[in-house]
Chains A and B, each alone.
With several copies, the nearest count.
Chain A
Amino acid sequence: MPHDDHDHPHTLLPPDPALRVKALETLLTRKGLIDPAALDVIIDTYSNRIGPQNGAHVVARAWSDPGFKAALLADADPVLADMGYYGRQGEHMMVVENTDQVHNMVVCTLCSCYPWPLLGIPPGWYKSDAYRARAVREPRKVLAEFGVTLPDGTAVRVWDSTAEVRYLVLPQRPAGTEGMTETDLQALVTRDSMIGCGMVPAP
């Protein structure tokens, strides 16, 4: 450990990340800067309360209610706030609709920005070098790795989340869902489809 490396004090911590977390939490607790019970609440929030079910709820309602959908696509923020889906990393939302003409996909090549209030914490692959590097250059090859093949003539539009605007994909409603309730539709919607890396399967 280079103790004289003032630019990178993290090198003073043990290299094993599990030990790093423990060392930091112990130190910060002793200094009175964090409360381990608050950490538990944060973990519970993203483990159990905030997740793709929120986004799926929005998608199911958009499929069910044309007026809602129009408002959502025009200006998502007030619509999502009304549903209670606002918060850290979802302050400025845009919802982009997949159609036969355009398939939208979301990435953050610079870090791993993601609409947390709607989808929870990002999946491992979303944070991977492979996805960050390739989604912008060869989205169709990436989609193929998710088992998705687009029809000829469908354009791909990849949204690189370079600022504080976060993107949610409104996937295409699958055939055979005409009579389904909003609740049943919500259960169909996959997380990956709202990132643009999957299609919602027919029921």
Chain B
Amino acid sequence: MGGRFGDGRVKPEPEDVKFHADWHPRALALTLACGMLGQWNLDMMRRAREGLAPTDYARFAYYEKWLAALADMLVEVGLVTCAELAGEAAAEPSPLSERRVGPEVVTTILARGGPATRDSAVTARFQPGDSVRTRHLAENTTVPGGHTRLPAYAAGRTGRIVRQHGSHVLPDSNAHGNGEAPEPLYAVAFAARDLWAHPETPLDEVMLDLWQGYLSPA
């Protein structure tokens, strides 16, 4: 939705507000705890959120998207059945219950994180200062309608390599269970005037982190 018109004002809020409804913290914790079962990766979960019906994506707030995608994912990986979700069948104990995360290890798991850097056999093609052009379609080239992290507003644009971040897991592959396929990731600078019909000033830039496969020499 980057660049979209019509969304109105941004509404700043006091910095001590953490949640905006009683059920928000529970939705957050539930999603994280389920993720710790190790049955999907972060890219798959993002794919599930973006794969909601466009009308649902538009009307759901942040944690509503999380909940809907969590339910879809639980069924997709077989942790839960549709009958159980619908309340039409009694909850069967899961064979994966031994992976359940207890209160004593949660903090450790959160602190451990999940790095996305990997060794990769893919050689870096670009260096800082190089001019590059992004793919002309913000689409997954392998899976029709699949997950990608090239925003539509930056498709088919020319930018400048600013930094090499090392090799990172490729969401376009990992989100579909097709392997991590790590490749070099770059910070790429785009002049605002190359992205927008009416840039605010000629000085401004937008920086994106983009995988090597999204880029060609320009």
Q: For chain A, give the interface size range.
A: 35 or more
Nearest CB to that of B8 among chain A residues?
A130
Whether the Cβ atoms of A111 and B46 lie closer than 8 Å is yes
Whether the Cβ atoms of B75 and A9 lie closer than 8 Å is yes
Whether the Cβ atoms of A10 and B67 lie closer than 8 Å is yes
Q: Which of B30, B37, B79, B207 contacts A160 (CB 8 A)?
A: B207
- Cβ of B49 under 8 Å from chain A: yes
Whether the Cβ atoms of A136 and B195 lie closer than 8 Å is yes
**8 Å CB interface, B40-91 against A:** 46, 49-56, 61-64, 67-72, 74-75, 79-80, 82, 84-87, 91
Whether the Cβ atoms of B106 and A42 lie closer than 8 Å is yes
Given A111-B46, A128-B10: A34 and B27 interface contact (C-beta under 8 Å):
no
Q: How far is the CB of A56 from chain B (nearest CB, A)?
A: 10
Whether the Cβ atoms of B18 and A47 lie closer than 8 Å is yes
Given A40-B103, A140-B200, A161-B209: A88 and B93 interface contact (C-beta under 8 Å):
no
Q: Is the interface of B mostly helix, strand, loop or mixed?
A: mixed
**8 Å CB interface, B1-58 against A:** 1-5, 7-13, 15, 17-18, 20-23, 25-30, 32-34, 37, 46, 49-56
Whether the Cβ atoms of B23 and A17 lie closer than 8 Å is yes
Find the residue from A10, A37, A192 having the highest chain B CB count within 10 A: A10
Bound state CA distance, A110 and B200, in angstroms? 22
19 CB < 8 A contacts A-B: A9-B82, A10-B71, A12-B82, A17-B64, A23-B87, A34-B100, A86-B113, A91-B116, A92-B116, A92-B117, A92-B168, A123-B13, A133-B5, A155-B203, A156-B203, A159-B207, A164-B168, A192-B15, A197-B12
Besides A92-B117, A109-B3, 13 new A-B residue pairs in contact (Cβ under 8 A), listed by A number: A9-B74, A9-B82, A17-B27, A32-B94, A109-B153, A121-B28, A129-B1, A133-B3, A153-B203, A156-B200, A156-B201, A160-B206, A163-B211
